[in-house]
A = this chain, B = another copy of it.
Amino acid sequence: MRIVEKIDPWGSSALRDYAKLQSEFGIEPISTILGRLKNPSLHIRRGIDFGHRDLGRIIDAIEKNEKFAVMSGIKPTGIFHLGTKMTADDMIYFQSLSTKATVFYAIADVEAYCDNGISFSDSRKIAVQNVADILALGLDPERAYVYLQSEEIRVMKLSTIFSKGVTNNMLKAIYGERQIGLYLSALVQAGDILMPQLEDFGGPKPTVVPVGVDQDPHIRLARDLADKFREQFGFIQPSAIYHRLMLSLSGETKMSKRSASTLLTLADSQGEAERKVMEAFTGGRATIEEQRRMGGEAEKCPVFDLYNFHFASSDEHAAEVFRECIGGIRMCGECKREAASLVKLFLEQHQAKKQKFIARAEELITKGNKEISSALK
């Protein structure tokens, strides 16, 4: 796997050299904090959330029953897919750990416009679907501030203020030489990440940002800015938890809207989903004979990712699939059929649930940034 010199948050590489990410960029292994987590999530238990920064601060807040924020977002360029679901699952997990946790969910319509040319009104329609998805996955809307970036003046204001806290050299060091538009969207994200600490939301507080590891440059920038503007805003450096990137069904890149044909979305019909799974690239060998002898390569198999990241019924089930694969017992055909039926079952249940949340999603987006309820402060 190619290792990029700088992590590229706008690229499609499925970075998997975790040791290097840790040694070069200072991401702590998740093991350093594992002993303090009473109910580790599926992602943490299965090594999918492999690293963190300052997650201890969040655990402190949970133990002391103090407020903290869980912040992440989505670019409303299309329907939820299994990659976005991972971040959503992590947000819902952290929200569930404490009644003092508030979720901040940014609908990045400014970026959708800038990067993908999607109009603000189209973004809004897509956002309703996205928010209904995350509600169906389990987000508690009573403790969630859902907002459109383009209507959240606080974020825009912070990003402008932050532009004075960065130098061109600092941005180049983090992102490489880029057009100003990308730098600016990085500053907008820093605004998203630090907004939960403004007085309007009750002031400085620990914040955890669950992200794919490719987004780490944004975390580093937000942490730098929290330091630079501490005197003025009292910012606490945001914490982060990093998940591995799920492989696309072709096994070549991360699962991303940029390669739509190799993507499983939460709106796929059961037929579509089944077809995509059956056509997926696998870690299988050239012949059945060879596979029986050498075992499959589960670690680079997108079908195994389906089990491990989302659909295995238990940790034991995921581990069993892994052992059977690398032991040459499990062949790709049967493995895919089992995966497909798990995916179909999930889609059936999720899509039914989601329908019930459309109206609530619409309401959250409309009301979201008009007023801040006292529960969110």
Contact = CB atoms under 8 A, between A and B. Distances in A.
Interface string A159-189: 0110110111001000000011101110110
B163 A113 contact: no
Contact of A160 (B110, B153, B179): B110
A246 interface: no
Contact of A180 (B161, B163, B185): B163
Contact of A161 (B114, B160, B163): B114
A124 to B, nearest CB: 13
Contact of A188 (B153, B160, B171, B180): B160
A117 to B, nearest CB: 9
A113 B162 CA distance: 11
Give the number of copies in the complex.
Answer: 2
A318 B168 CA distance: 49
Which one of A157, A167, A180 has the highest number of Cβ atoms from chain B below 10 Å of its Cβ? Answer: A180
Contacts of A135: none
A74 interface: no
Contacts of A150: 153, 157
B181 A163 contact: yes
Main secondary structure of the interface of A (DSSP, over half): helix
Contacts of A113: 160-161
A151 interface: yes
Contacts of A166: 179-181
A329 to B, nearest CB: 52
A187 B179 CA distance: 14
Nearest to A369: B153
Contacts of A157: 110, 150, 156
Contacts of A151: 153
Interface string A131-165: 00000000000000000001101001100110110
Nearest to A156: B156
Given A113-B161, A153-B156, A167-B180, 10 more contacts: A110-B161, A114-B163, A160-B185, A160-B188, A163-B181, A163-B184, A166-B179, A168-B180, A180-B180, A184-B187
A187 B185 CA distance: 13
A113 B168 CA distance: 20
A292 to B, nearest CB: 54
A192 to B, nearest CB: 13
Interface in A90-132: 110, 113-114
Contacts of A185: 160, 163
